[in-house]
Amino acid sequence: MTKMNSNSPKINVDILIIKDNKILLGLLTEKWNYEGKIVYGVPGRDIKFREKIGETVKRNIKEEFNCNVTDYRIMCVNANYALGNHYIGVGVIAEIDGEPRNLIPEDWEKWEWFDKDNIPPNLFPATKNLIDCYLQNKVNVAE
């Protein structure tokens, strides 16, 4: 068995929450600025060792919003090299119960629902990849 080192990519989930044809985006805090700009993102965290993808999605939504996932499906896989990292992101579409609350204010300024035809242009790269896959019905837009 090989041991992962700092030069190995990490694997995470990027979660696109859909409700009534709207997409949930969070305005990230300044610590997540990309190319000097404040950007919007989606919930997403590293997949823990031996954790199933669905377990990661459910854990993340509970930690981020204290909501439950009512349905999800894996949609795409993209690479993300932002902020000097290398992530392989498993893109997931999810539906949740309740209204999201900002439980991690050190990462998120606020959460907002956007019409899919009115997505803000200032997106974190992994979020842009995920939304592009969703809107274009593609499995991958970034290698």
How far apart (Å, rounded) are the C-alpha atoms in residues 12 and 135?
21
The yes-or-no verdict on residue 5 having pLDDT over 60 is no
pTM above 0.75, yes or no: yes
Cβ-proximal residues to 128 (8 Å cutoff; 6+ apart), any chain? none
pLDDT above 90 coverage of the chain, percent:
78
Half-sphere exposure of 43 (CA within 13 A, CB side): 33
82-110 pLDDT, tens digit each: 888 898 999 999 999 999 999 999 999 99
pLDDT bin (cut points 50, 70, 90) of residue 26 is very high
Task: Return the domain boundaries, the chain.
Answer: 17-136
72, two tokens = 């999800």
The yes-or-no verdict on residue 3 having pLDDT over 60 is no
What CATH number is given for 17-136 in this structure? 3.90.79.10
